[in-house]
Structure 1
């Protein structure tokens, strides 16, 4: 299953047609071409930083002593962009005023869209399914010390 993030533009209501859908996953293209992938997704500063770091790693890889360190820097940078690239895109959109409206786990994008827009089709656009858990301070049950640790029932 994949995780899909639904972001809505500033001032839009929940389940807006202009919602941007971003799949949070490992990207092979971002692994092999990290700064080009970042440029494609308009992450200019991150692309410049990755280009500089990979250039430094490339120069270091030609040195006889620091060769493995340079290759390691290049691989680590590529791996970071491949794993955290979608998170960088979401962070950039949030800085621009977009808000995360929903996070949905589904097999594919079509199923995630169907789940996201399901309330609109049912005619109830304002219904959101939430789970609220009680706060720990509202519980009347006192927790006993565990594994021989001292309880703080009397205060500190």
Structure 2
């Protein structure tokens, strides 16, 4: 299952109101981006991340100039490392850039693919709007003990043993 961040444009009022409003939502996957790994600059331009493009070019140029002075296979390692790092962080950078532009995070959706995540997300929104309970049960909240000292029954746990801590 993949997790998707659901981003809404600044002027969106109600995504359930009409199909046109729902189509304006963007689902950004929270996973490695193969397109950003293989075609970094093209991926950045496709998503219109101009500030990210400038930063990527400056950072890549500085890294590759340093690798040229190091010699050997450092140039290949630097280019591969930069592409790998960008592949891992590309979708997070895209979400950050959208938030800077005024987009807001509506929530998270999960599914085997984007279509299933969209169906689950909109089903949850419609359930909230109609006041009906959602079909997917939410887990019970975690109850934390008030004491910091862990206990087993009535005995406190100290290190790997039960009982009171002794001073040596």
TM-score normalised by L of structure 1 = 0.72
**Deviation, structure 1 residue 150:** 10
Q: Greater Rg, structure 1 or structure 2?
A: 2
Structure 2: 5+ residue runs without aligned partners? 17-21
Alignment match, 1:101: 106
- Following TM superposition, the consecutive aligned residue runs of length 4 or more in structure 1 with deviations greater than 6 angstroms are none
Where does 1:7-46 land on structure 2 (aligned, <5 Å)? 7-10=7-10, 12=12, 15=15, 17=22, 18-46=24-52
32 and 120 in structure 1: CA distance in 2 versus 1, 3 angstrom threshold: closer
State the aligned residue count.
149
Unaligned runs of 5+ in 1: 152-156
Q: TM-score, normalised by structure 2?
A: 0.68
Conserved in 1, the CA contact under 8 Å of 2:67 and 2:78? no
1:133 aligns with 2:142: yes
Q: Secondary structure at the match of 2:107?
A: strand
CA distance in 1 between counterparts of 2:5 and 2:142 reads 23
Return the alpha-carbon distance in structure 2 between the equivalents of residues 5 and 124 of structure 1. Answer: 20
Q: Quote how far apart the aligned CAs of 1:31 are.
A: 1.1
How far is 1:60 from its partner?
4.7
Shift of the alpha carbon at 1:104?
2.0
2:83 is equivalent to residue 74 of structure 1 = no
Change (3 A) 1:96 1:130: farther
For 1:14 and 1:67, how far apart are their aligned partners in 2? 57
1:5 aligns with 2:5: yes
